[in-house]
């Protein structure tokens, strides 16, 4: 069975996840499987949790609960996801499942009925609700400070920049539209602002990702997305206009 590279799994790549926590701080572990788009989802979930005062555990033993962000694109990916859920249940016992395989909750609970909750892909609020129910938040506003760039699960020199969700194509061989829905493009100013913040944080390479990068904006028609006085969504300040040696390229799809 093909495994995800260890450096893309926070539970296996301890150096990528800072392990600073205060006494009594609720702590969450994360196993992130699948494609870079799922990794971005994991980063967003962890960023929200950090903002609410949760610490991030680099291992099972130090976590009050574990989130497993699954992949369901191929049979081998489903098998790996079920294996990861089982491992988390064995090592920790309190597991919340999310991600693409979460679109088939009966498939997951049939194999692992003891999971605390199952949510679908990019359902951030549902994941947070499940975490709150399993491990109530206990933030300390004077101590729990979140970096402006949020939590990153990639090496500091590059980052993924997700510009849209879903896909409008109905290819017979592909299950992505059923799992992640139709195309929803992010507003251009939101993409540019995120790119700017990443570059300000020292990122040298931005990998633009989505299910169908070439279709970006089709669903938004001709709407305007003002960016620093430019109603077209351009203007100064985006990654391509920063000094230094930044690079912008298209990342993997599907």
What pLDDT does 242 receive? 47
- Cβ-contact 209, 252 below 8 angstroms: yes
What pLDDT does 8 receive? 46
d(CA 68, CA 97): 5
What pLDDT does 10 receive? 47
What pLDDT does 230 receive? 60
Could you give the strand order of the β-sheet that contains 65-70, starting from the edge strand earlier in sequence? 55-57, 27-32, 65-70, 95-99, 117-118
What pLDDT does 1 receive? 34
- Cβ-contact 228, 191 below 8 angstroms: no
Q: Strand, helix or coil at 180? A: helix
Which pair of tokens denotes residue 12? 């296996």
- Cβ-contact 159, 203 below 8 angstroms: yes
d(CA 31, CA 97): 10
d(CA 186, CA 211): 13
d(CA 238, CA 227): 9
- Segments of the chain with pLDDT less than 70: 1-20, 141-149, 229-254
Q: Is the dihedral of CA 12, 18, 19, 22 positive or negative?
A: negative
| Core vs surface per residue 175-187: b (16+ CB within 10 A) or e | ebbebbbebebbb
H, E, C per residue of 57-81: ECCCCCCCEEEEEECCCCHHHHHHH
Which pair of tokens denotes residue 152? 């990153």
What pLDDT does 235 receive? 47
What pLDDT does 23 receive? 77
């Amino acid at each position: 069975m093909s495994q995800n590279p260890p450096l893309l799994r926070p539970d296996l790549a301890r150096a990528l996840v800072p392990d600073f926590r205060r006494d009594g701080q609720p702590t969450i572990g994360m196993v992130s499987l699948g494609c870079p788009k799922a990794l971005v989802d994991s980063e967003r979930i962890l960023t929200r949790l950090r903002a609410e005062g949760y610490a991030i555990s680099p291992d099972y033993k130090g976590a009050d609960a574990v989130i497993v962000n699954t992949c369901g694109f191929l049979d081998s990916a489903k098998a790996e996801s079920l294996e990861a859920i089982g491992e988390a249940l064995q090592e920790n016992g309190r597991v919340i499942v999310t991600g693409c395989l979460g679109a088939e909750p009966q498939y997951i609970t049939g194999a692992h009925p003891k999971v605390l909750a199952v949510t679908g892909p990019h359902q951030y609020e549902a994941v947070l609700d499940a975490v709150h129910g399993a491990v109530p938040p206990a933030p300390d506003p004077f101590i729990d400070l979140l970096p402006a760039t949020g939590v990153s699960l990639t090496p500091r020199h590059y980052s993924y920049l997700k510009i849209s969700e879903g896909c409008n194509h109905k290819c017979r061989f592909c299950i992505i539209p059923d799992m992640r829905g139709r195309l929803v493009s992010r507003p251009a100013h939101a993409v540019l602002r995120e790119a700017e913040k990443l570059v300000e944080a020292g990122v040298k390479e931005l990998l633009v990702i989505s299910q169908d990068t070439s279709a970006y904006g089709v669903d938004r028609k001709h709407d305007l997305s003002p960016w620093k006085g430019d109603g077209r969504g351009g203007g100064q300040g985006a990654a391509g206009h920063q000094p230094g040696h930044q690079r912008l390229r298209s990342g993997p799809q599907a």
